[in-house]
């Protein structure tokens, strides 16, 4: 979705009531977040901007920007975390693991194909069709892409791990990432277990 530059329609500072609504929406979308986590991701006293954009294919998207970094984006009334948020909370979404060479394809607009998914010893994360999930690389748990599962985990296994697994919306190195401070992913080593 952000493989090509987007057009900014408006950029305004969020009002107090809208900030409270955003926090409630984030809490509903990601119930595993504690109140403390939520306050860390969306602090009460710091400037937060609402940026309305048109993606290159014409989709209307709302960005929530803190410290110059987009932290969440809203598309068709669904909230998604950006990689900047996932680097602070890598366990926020179910995560699929792939090989580093796949990242360039994802950043270029490709979806995550199931043959490129690495199945960890603990198994794949359990997802439903359409569920928001992230993608990380082997040997680094820091997510590098966000999208929606194209099918449930059981369907992925039943189909022999063939076909599209995750419809990618946003990646490290795309234009949404480039709208922020352009930092790279942190190194979060350890066994990538998938899941939450």
What whole-number distance in Å separates Cα of residue 133 and Cα of residue 92? Answer: 9
- The strand order across the sheet containing 69-75 reads 7-13, 48-54, 60-66, 69-75, 78-81
pLDDT on residue 57 = 86
Q: Domains along the chain?
A: 7-178 (3.10.400.20)
pLDDT on residue 193 = 42
For residues 29 and 70, the answer to whether their CB atoms sit within 8 Å is no
Query: In the predicted model, is pLDDT for residue 196 greater than 90?
Result: no
What whole-number distance in Å separates Cα of residue 122 and Cα of residue 94? Answer: 13
> Distance between terminal CA atoms of the chain?
25
Of 140, 139, 127, nearest to 184 by C-alpha is: 140
pLDDT in tens, 125-158: 999 999 999 999 998 999 999 999 999 999 999 9
- Find the mean pLDDT for residues 109-117: 97
pTM of this structure: 0.93
Q: What six digits make up the tokens of 95?
A: 């995560």
pLDDT in tens, 5-57: 999 999 999 999 999 999 999 999 999 999 999 999 999 989 999 999 999 88
Average pLDDT, the chain: 94
pLDDT in tens, 65-110: 999 999 999 999 999 999 999 999 999 999 999 999 999 999 999 9
Count of beta carbons in the 10 Å neighbourhood of residue 53? 23
Residues in the chain: 196
pLDDT on residue 190 = 60
pLDDT band at 191 (very low <50, low <70, confident <90, very high): low
pLDDT on residue 158 = 96
């Amino acid at each position: 979705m952000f493989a090509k530059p987007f057009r900014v329609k408006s950029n305004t500072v969020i009002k107090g009531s809208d900030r409270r609504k955003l926090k409630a929406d984030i809490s509903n979308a990601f119930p595993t977040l504690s109140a403390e986590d939520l306050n860390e991701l969306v602090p009460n006293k710091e400037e937060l901007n609402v940026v309305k954009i048109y993606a290159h294919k014409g989709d209307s998207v709302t960005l929530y920007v803190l410290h110059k970094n987009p932290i969440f984006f809203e598309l068709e009334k669904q909230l998604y975390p950006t990689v900047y948020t996932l680097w602070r909370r890598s366990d926020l979404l179910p995560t699929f693991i792939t090989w580093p060479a796949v990242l360039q394809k994802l950043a270029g607009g490709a979806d995550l194909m199931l043959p490129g998914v690495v199945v960890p010893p603990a198994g794949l994360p359990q997802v439903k069709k359409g569920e928001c999930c992230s993608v990380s690389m082997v040997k680094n748990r820091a997510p590098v892409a966000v999208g929606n599962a194209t099918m449930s985990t059981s369907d992925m296994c039943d189909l022999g791990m063939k076909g599209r697994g995750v419809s990618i919306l946003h990646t490290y190195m795309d234009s949404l990432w480039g709208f922020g401070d352009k930092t790279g992913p942190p190194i979060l080593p350890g066994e990538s277990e998938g899941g939450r």
